[in-house]
Chain A
């Protein structure tokens, strides 16, 4: 018995030991208990290791920073801009001065070489502060201070002035106030530049020529054009004219809304209304009414709806009959549009959405091949960037159809890859801004759009408001038809002319020309003279005023300027000849000089607009020229007459200045779409 007992005890003791060892092994595996072995050597090595790791991280970061810095210094390494020693034509004075002073800053402060000079024109009323100002000293002082160098802006300005190279444009520079550098223009330059206008016409400032595609107007087939399209059309046209003047290769594209589900119902309706459409053109007098009828049926008649969908499928698959019906509908619409374009003197090449049908299929394949499409509840979507934030583009709908996103992706691809455009300009209302941003980013992600070589601008604009400050509508609350609006413009313009009794002075032809010039001119000018990003109030009363910054005022002013040379009793038709006869532009009188300097701003204005595409700056420039001219005209005799009205003296130099003014204004008018008439 006792042996069994002792055996049992021994066994349970062994079991206990086994369990104990097992837990110890487990603990050792986990590392428990090992950390207490405080080996001095081990601790030392561990500290050393931490230190080395830390140092390595620091060194790596320093290397990365240095490489970055080297990369950028290579670019920054300043090469002074080469500036011409003689200038005989109008150039952008601001650009010239920026280069001139950027060079001077680099010479005066080699550490800051490459810092671009800040140049701003001085208001004409503050002529004692020069004509332009370089305001770099203040910001340079800050930069230097941050780097531990304390220098007053005035000292900095003085050092810059010391380092300014002589320039054919600059008469003198002086430091004023806290550190402003005042720049005074040279009269010689002005004289040469203005003579150049008279000899060779108004020339654009130099710039790199690009292939530009301007997408504007873009109405929808079968719908009326409204004032929103009017804005896009007017702004787009002026941008094209400006870019063409600057020498760019401009594609004027009308991205017509000629594709989509609405055509199903239109075709179905056409088939019902004009069963014989395949053989003869259907007489759709009022496409608008036609559209409304079909829409009504579409909404109310389930059967019709089904047929309409069917028609879409047929059309998109290229069915001949459907295509014919579609073409007929589009033709009617396009003719309507064309009438308006002609009245507004607008040129456009229609490349509608339908054009991209095959390219949409292609672009879907292309995006899919790049793994950019994601399934989402039956749809295929694409995120504009990797972070999958914002709103995704819907590339394929759940029913397999395409969306605006698809056509816009296909269009941007076509424009950049096939049309080889370098610069895309979308003249579309501000509401589309997010959509367009999405398109650029998605195109960039897909490798279509490359910001390094491509430029894309959304020329956005605000809504048109009525005089009541609400959305522009007819009295009955309907959308204003564009043709009606133009008609009303014509009527109002005529009323204005009759009110001024111009009918008694002008021939009927002259009166009609004046009427159209005033009517269309004022509608365009009212639109362009407002900052396009703001909403603007459409008011015939305002735009037909003959005072202030209006088309009417400018047209009158221009006619008056042109009449001066006509009335001087001498022949000013050949300006080159007059110049060759040693007639000099003097610019002695303060107002002459002021007028000349105003005209010389023309290239600056164009360069600025080519950057921000804000045309109201050009309107402001026109208005400034007109007002400065009238100051000049009030103060300086061009033609001196005696009491009996006989011409005593003709101040030829001044008349040349008038001619130059007219030339510049004429060029501006052309860009703005104003048609000056010789008599008004």
Chain B
């Protein structure tokens, strides 16, 4: 029977032991029957049917609850005991699951008679296990959860009265607007184990006693911002009953709503990681004989400071996904007053180029972060090697001669060298180090099975390649799996933050640190951020470059960070975008439009407005009202005249956007047509078409001859449009999505491969006209071209040739018009 108690894992279990079809069915039927039984059992505890069904879906809670039930078999449960058991089952952490019988017994015996005490009991036990094999000290345990402490109504009344007295003046002044929760807190601080409802009731009675019934004023909303109408008793109860939802099986600890507006806000309000040094309280953390000592030493070295790291491989360039990692690591450290390392994970000797090192650092700094220290995994090669020797000596690692192909695949053959003598592995490992063994014919493997089933991951392999930092020192190089956690440990990282794919490596991470008896950081995972309509793989971008589809790594159609910078995305917008995505465990795929919206939010308030004509159409004003060109003062931000202004020139010849004139306007068209005038923005003129000059062959409109009226004398036109006079020519590059499909790498969506999915029109180059006022721009200067979009000066700009990139259009669909 007990085999199938675990509903979720029972399938795996069965597969292993009854690998026939018949037993499958048997198991399925059986588990359905089990569920029926469970349902009634749970309901017997006092749950509603709905709640019981929900609970069964949560394998973990169900398992715990069943364990508790098996403890109390045949005992009649007192009032409320069932729900306390449920509360306990939903909150108990795996580290202290062995103490479940104890807590269950205490609940049944009514020693723990409310959620407060149950929580205190669990907290005590969790703290206690930091020392491995520690025995629960019954006396301390009882004390810390207030077993047997009875708070009499008289005691409550007396304490409440005392505290009401303290606040009497304020109470009389503010009456019912006084925040009674404060008194509640004070009383609870004094009488830790007092029943919350009784305290609340006592307070209400005492206040009523003092103030009498509520007057009309009392019922009005409070005069100032103080809107907090506290209902402490109910909120406490709510919290405890909702706690079931918070018991996540993975180390992802996030509130229900995911995002925030800025990273600082996100880290402050939405992320709940452990406090440094309380590693042992996190789910899945493995406690050994050394944990307590190592954590103590760790705290001594860090002073309790949060330490994170951003560990990119220095063999490519950073993309939007990295932005999330940078923001989480640097942002979390910053929000806690901690520090964040920039660690180049340079364990792989191949293809590490200086430009990548510089580029990574530049991008981190561009996003506004400063690494506490810049380190390299290769700094630790010697230590990593010595630790590998220690592992061999302990019989935890061995030299294996299986080829890479033999180790791959679904069910690889177990290594025949797994049990070779320690001395032999030591000698062979030294030979590997000394270059005596051919590349590919020996690896060092750890005796460990990963969650995903991978057996004995490789820790070291031979590569006869010089390393750009260690030169000819090594020809064995450690793997990511081996290096990563050990470098974290060396740097005393408190929170090793990584993407969800690495959740399955967490156990090997902990195993390795514990095997070496070194400080073990806590790994927390968050979901990857994927961008649709693009790809970020280094190899594939390189392919795009060699195929001349894009120009370079920073082509603004890509989503590398350098590309985004070049396109004109402000760093702040990228950071805020990451904040909006949150730090949930879920993998997120978003369209570029989400990021663009964040960019607009920033540029809208920071990019000054300019009049620019992308595709010019010449207009001659036959009755130009001035005898020479006149200068017009134009505000940078029309909504905010205080934010400065610039001057533009108005002359007899002006240029407007070609698309702002139509020979055959459709219904509802508001701009210039043969019989429809239009206003020139900021110029104070309304123009009327008098003559259209066309190319006789193509019918293309070449020039318009117009009459103009001063705006105050003319009827108000339906629209105002942008224009320029005596302009200078600039180059404008307009970008569109590079791929036609959402997931260009998905062969279901794009059978021909990503190269077949290129949007041929992703780049268009225009020769456009701007006012002379724009002749002195600097690279990365950003403007809003009125009625068109946001633009940024491209690094290709020279003194005589200005190039603008369109960052984003004004509205989401502006690009399509």
Interface residues of A (CB under 8 A from B): 50-52, 54-55, 57-59, 61-62, 146-149
Interfacial chain B residues near A62, Cβ < 8 Å: 433-436
Q: Once bound together, how far apart are the Cα atoms of A62 and B386, in whole Å?
A: 17
Interfacial chain A residues near B466, Cβ < 8 Å: 50, 54, 57
A54 & B390 in contact (Cβ 8 Å cutoff)? no
**Cβ proximity bits B389-400 to A, threshold 8 Å, 1 near / 0 not:** 110111000000
Q: Name the residue of chain B whose CB is nearest to the CB of A62.
A: B434
Q: Once bound together, how far apart are the Cα atoms of A62 and B434, in whole Å?
A: 5
B464 & A51 in contact (Cβ 8 Å cutoff)? yes
B475 & A58 in contact (Cβ 8 Å cutoff)? yes
Query: A51-B439, A55-B435, A59-B436 provided; 16 other pairs, C-beta below 8 A?
Result: A51-B464, A51-B465, A52-B464, A54-B464, A55-B464, A57-B466, A58-B434, A58-B435, A58-B464, A58-B472, A58-B475, A59-B434, A61-B434, A62-B435, A146-B386, A148-B392
Q: Which of B383-429 contact A (CB under 8 A)?
A: 386, 389-390, 392-394
Q: Which of B441-476 contact A (CB under 8 A)?
A: 464-466, 472, 474-475
Q: Once bound together, how far apart are the Cα atoms of A58 and B475, in whole Å?
A: 7
Interfacial chain A residues near B392, Cβ < 8 Å: 148
Q: Name the residue of chain B whose CB is nearest to the CB of A56.
A: B435
- In the assembled complex, 14 residue pairs joining A and B whose CB atoms fall closer than 8 Å, in A order, are A50-B464, A51-B465, A54-B465, A55-B435, A57-B472, A58-B474, A59-B434, A61-B434, A62-B433, A62-B436, A146-B386, A148-B389, A148-B393, A149-B393
Least CB distance, B770 to chain A, in whole angstroms: 40
Q: Once bound together, how far apart are the Cα atoms of A58 and B436, in whole Å?
A: 9
A50 & B465 in contact (Cβ 8 Å cutoff)? yes
Q: Which one, A52, A61, A146, contacts B472 given CB within 8 A? A: A61
Interfacial chain B residues near A54, Cβ < 8 Å: 464-466, 472, 475
Q: Once bound together, how far apart are the Cα atoms of A52 and B475, in whole Å?
A: 11
Q: Once bound together, how far apart are the Cα atoms of A43 and B466, in whole Å?
A: 17
Q: Once bound together, how far apart are the Cα atoms of A55 and B432, in whole Å?
A: 11
Q: Name the residue of chain A whose CB is nearest to the CB of B426.
A: A148
A148 & B472 in contact (Cβ 8 Å cutoff)? no
Interfacial chain B residues near A148, Cβ < 8 Å: 389-390, 392-394
Q: Once bound together, how far apart are the Cα atoms of A62 and B394, in whole Å?
A: 25
Q: Once bound together, how far apart are the Cα atoms of A176 and B464, in whole Å?
A: 52
Least CB distance, B388 to chain A, in whole angstroms: 10
Q: Name the residue of chain A whose CB is nearest to the CB of B435.
A: A58
Q: Once bound together, how far apart are the Cα atoms of A55 and B433, in whole Å?
A: 10
Q: Once bound together, how far apart are the Cα atoms of A59 and B466, in whole Å?
A: 13
Interfacial chain A residues near B386, Cβ < 8 Å: 146
Least CB distance, A63 to chain B, in whole angstroms: 9
Least CB distance, A574 to chain B, in whole angstroms: 67
Q: Once bound together, how far apart are the Cα atoms of A59 and B462, in whole Å?
A: 13
Interfacial chain A residues near B435, Cβ < 8 Å: 55, 58-59, 62
Interfacial chain B residues near A57, Cβ < 8 Å: 466, 472
Interface residues of B (CB under 8 A from A): 386, 389-390, 392-394, 433-436, 439, 464-466, 472, 474-475
Q: Once bound together, how far apart are the Cα atoms of A454 and B434, in whole Å?
A: 39
With A62-B434, A62-B435, A62-B436 known to touch, is A55 a contact of B475 (CB < 8 Å)?
A: yes
Q: Once bound together, how far apart are the Cα atoms of A622 and B439, in whole Å?
A: 70
Least CB distance, B389 to chain A, in whole angstroms: 6
Interfacial chain A residues near B439, Cβ < 8 Å: 51
Q: Once bound together, how far apart are the Cα atoms of A50 and B349, in whole Å?
A: 13
Interfacial chain B residues near A149, Cβ < 8 Å: 393
Interfacial chain B residues near A55, Cβ < 8 Å: 435, 464, 475
| List of 6 A-B pairs having minimum Cβ-Cβ separation, nearest first | A148-B393, A62-B434, A58-B435, A57-B472, A51-B464, A148-B390
Least CB distance, A111 to chain B, in whole angstroms: 12
Interfacial chain B residues near A146, Cβ < 8 Å: 386
Least CB distance, A20 to chain B, in whole angstroms: 28
Q: Once bound together, how far apart are the Cα atoms of A101 and B143, in whole Å?
A: 53
A147 & B475 in contact (Cβ 8 Å cutoff)? no
Interfacial chain A residues near B390, Cβ < 8 Å: 148
Least CB distance, A55 to chain B, in whole angstroms: 5
Q: Once bound together, how far apart are the Cα atoms of A54 and B439, in whole Å?
A: 12
Q: Once bound together, how far apart are the Cα atoms of A149 and B393, in whole Å?
A: 8
Q: Once bound together, how far apart are the Cα atoms of A51 and B435, in whole Å?
A: 11
Least CB distance, A629 to chain B, in whole angstroms: 49
Q: Once bound together, how far apart are the Cα atoms of A58 and B467, in whole Å?
A: 12
Least CB distance, A284 to chain B, in whole angstroms: 72
Least CB distance, A54 to chain B, in whole angstroms: 5
Least CB distance, B444 to chain A, in whole angstroms: 14
Interfacial chain B residues near A61, Cβ < 8 Å: 434, 472
Q: Name the residue of chain B whose CB is nearest to the CB of A57.
A: B472
Q: Once bound together, how far apart are the Cα atoms of A61 and B392, in whole Å?
A: 23
Of listed B386, B434, B435, residue having the most chain A CB within 10 A: B435
Least CB distance, B515 to chain A, in whole angstroms: 11
Q: Name the residue of chain B whose CB is nearest to the CB of A48.
A: B464
Interfacial chain A residues near B394, Cβ < 8 Å: 148
Interfacial chain B residues near A58, Cβ < 8 Å: 434-435, 464, 472, 474-475
Of listed B390, B394, B439, residue having the most chain A CB within 10 A: B390
Q: Once bound together, how far apart are the Cα atoms of A61 and B472, in whole Å?
A: 9
Q: Once bound together, how far apart are the Cα atoms of A61 and B471, in whole Å?
A: 13
B393 & A147 in contact (Cβ 8 Å cutoff)? yes
Q: Name the residue of chain A whose CB is nearest to the CB of B439.
A: A51
Q: Once bound together, how far apart are the Cα atoms of A61 and B470, in whole Å?
A: 14
Interfacial chain A residues near B475, Cβ < 8 Å: 54-55, 58
Q: Once bound together, how far apart are the Cα atoms of A55 and B434, in whole Å?
A: 9
Least CB distance, A65 to chain B, in whole angstroms: 8
Interfacial chain A residues near B433, Cβ < 8 Å: 62
Q: Once bound together, how far apart are the Cα atoms of A55 and B474, in whole Å?
A: 9
Interfacial chain B residues near A52, Cβ < 8 Å: 464
Interfacial chain A residues near B464, Cβ < 8 Å: 50-52, 54-55, 58
Q: Once bound together, how far apart are the Cα atoms of A148 and B433, in whole Å?
A: 18
Least CB distance, A50 to chain B, in whole angstroms: 7
Q: Once bound together, how far apart are the Cα atoms of A51 and B472, in whole Å?
A: 11
Interfacial chain A residues near B436, Cβ < 8 Å: 59, 62
Least CB distance, A221 to chain B, in whole angstroms: 61
Least CB distance, B225 to chain A, in whole angstroms: 62
Q: Once bound together, how far apart are the Cα atoms of A148 and B395, in whole Å?
A: 11
Interfacial chain A residues near B434, Cβ < 8 Å: 58-59, 61-62
Q: Once bound together, how far apart are the Cα atoms of A62 and B476, in whole Å?
A: 13
Interfacial chain B residues near A50, Cβ < 8 Å: 464-466
Q: Once bound together, how far apart are the Cα atoms of A149 and B472, in whole Å?
A: 30
Of listed A50, A54, A147, residue having the most chain B CB within 10 A: A54
Q: Once bound together, how far apart are the Cα atoms of A147 and B394, in whole Å?
A: 10
Q: Once bound together, how far apart are the Cα atoms of A50 and B466, in whole Å?
A: 8
Least CB distance, B696 to chain A, in whole angstroms: 42
Q: Once bound together, how far apart are the Cα atoms of A2 and B434, in whole Å?
A: 80
Q: Name the residue of chain A whose CB is nearest to the CB of B430.
A: A62
Of listed A52, A57, A61, A147, residue having the most chain B CB within 10 A: A57
Interfacial chain A residues near B389, Cβ < 8 Å: 148
Interfacial chain A residues near B465, Cβ < 8 Å: 50-51, 54
Q: Name the residue of chain A whose CB is nearest to the CB of B391.
A: A148
Least CB distance, B465 to chain A, in whole angstroms: 6
Least CB distance, B514 to chain A, in whole angstroms: 14
Q: Name the residue of chain A whose CB is nearest to the CB of B474.
A: A58
Q: Once bound together, how far apart are the Cα atoms of A161 and B466, in whole Å?
A: 49
Q: Once bound together, how far apart are the Cα atoms of A598 and B682, in whole Å?
A: 108
Q: Once bound together, how far apart are the Cα atoms of A291 and B283, in whole Å?
A: 91
Interfacial chain B residues near A51, Cβ < 8 Å: 439, 464-465
Q: Name the residue of chain B whose CB is nearest to the CB of A145.
A: B390
Interfacial chain A residues near B474, Cβ < 8 Å: 58
Q: Once bound together, how far apart are the Cα atoms of A540 and B431, in whole Å?
A: 71
Q: Once bound together, how far apart are the Cα atoms of A51 and B349, in whole Å?
A: 12
Q: Once bound together, how far apart are the Cα atoms of A52 and B464, in whole Å?
A: 7
Q: Once bound together, how far apart are the Cα atoms of A669 and B435, in whole Å?
A: 65
Least CB distance, A403 to chain B, in whole angstroms: 47
Q: Once bound together, how far apart are the Cα atoms of A55 and B394, in whole Å?
A: 29
Least CB distance, B437 to chain A, in whole angstroms: 10
Of listed B433, B434, B464, B466, residue having the most chain A CB within 10 A: B464
Q: Once bound together, how far apart are the Cα atoms of A55 and B462, in whole Å?
A: 10
